[in-house]
Amino acid sequence: MLVIRIGPRSLALLGMVLALAVGLAIGSLRPVELVSAATRTNTTASDVLFSPAPQGSGVNLDQATRMIQAAMADARSKNYSMSFVILDAGGHVLASARMDGARPNTIEFARGKAYASAMTGRPSAALQESYAANPALWGNVATLGYGAPMLPSRGAMPIMVNGALVGAMGASGGPSEEDENAVRAGLAAIGLE
């Protein structure tokens, strides 16, 4: 009689190898309908699966630069040193700037405000009211994002183009109302509200 001893580590490793092999085998199978649709010569558009065309950010670098310059001009006219961040709808940075004299943390605050606005499609002033009404909810979602917190604080606006949310712009460094006014000036620079 032959006895083979398998310890717990070896058994776990054997299980992982078996699971990987089964996963690869199942994952490589294609449904019959897709294979037959791909091999037919007279396929119709409904038989072929298309991936959606990638969509642009809606705001290009030139527009983002003009937005930041207009917002900086508004801040300068009121003697504030601010930071500005423009994000696409996915929360990724398109452009950012920190004016001379603005505190280093203001760039991250502006990003957090813009991120919250981009993710919700709402002005950050409305998010600030939501936070006041339900701080427990915001305590749980504040850490979401690509290294940017969702800050429900006044000073950011969603960027809407033809009724579609394409991003957000945030500002920090002045009183919250002035942060928002600078963002409005930035949006107006490219004909948005």
DSSP alpha helix (H) spans, the chain: 8-27, 32-39, 61-77, 106-120, 124-133, 135-141, 176-188
Query: Are 168 and 87 spatial neighbours (Cβ–Cβ below 8 Å)?
Result: yes
Which CATH architecture fits 61-188?
A: 2-Layer Sandwich (3.30)
Q: For residue 108, which phi and psi values (nearest 5 degrees)?
A: -75, -35
Query: What b/e string do you get for 119-143 counting C-beta neighbours within 10 Å, with b at 16 or more?
Result: bbebbbbebbebbeeeeeebeeebe
The single-letter DSSP state of residue 104 is: T
Domain ranges of the chain: 8-47, 61-188
Token pair in block for residue 18: 């078996």
d(CA 80, CA 85) in angstroms, rounded, equals: 16
Q: How many CA atoms within 13 Å lie on the side-chain side of 125?
A: 11
d(CA 154, CA 164) in angstroms, rounded, equals: 22
Amino acid making up residue 112: G
d(CA 186, CA 193) in angstroms, rounded, equals: 9
Kindly report the pTM of this predicted structure. 0.68
d(CA 31, CA 24) in angstroms, rounded, equals: 15
Q: What is the pLDDT along the chain (193 residues), one digit of tens a residue?
A: 666 777 777 776 777 767 666 666 565 555 545 445 555 555 454 444 443 434 554 899 999 999 999 999 999 999 999 999 999 998 899 999 999 999 999 999 999 999 999 988 999 888 888 888 887 777 666 566 555 678 888 999 999 998 899 999 999 999 999 999 999 999 999 999 8
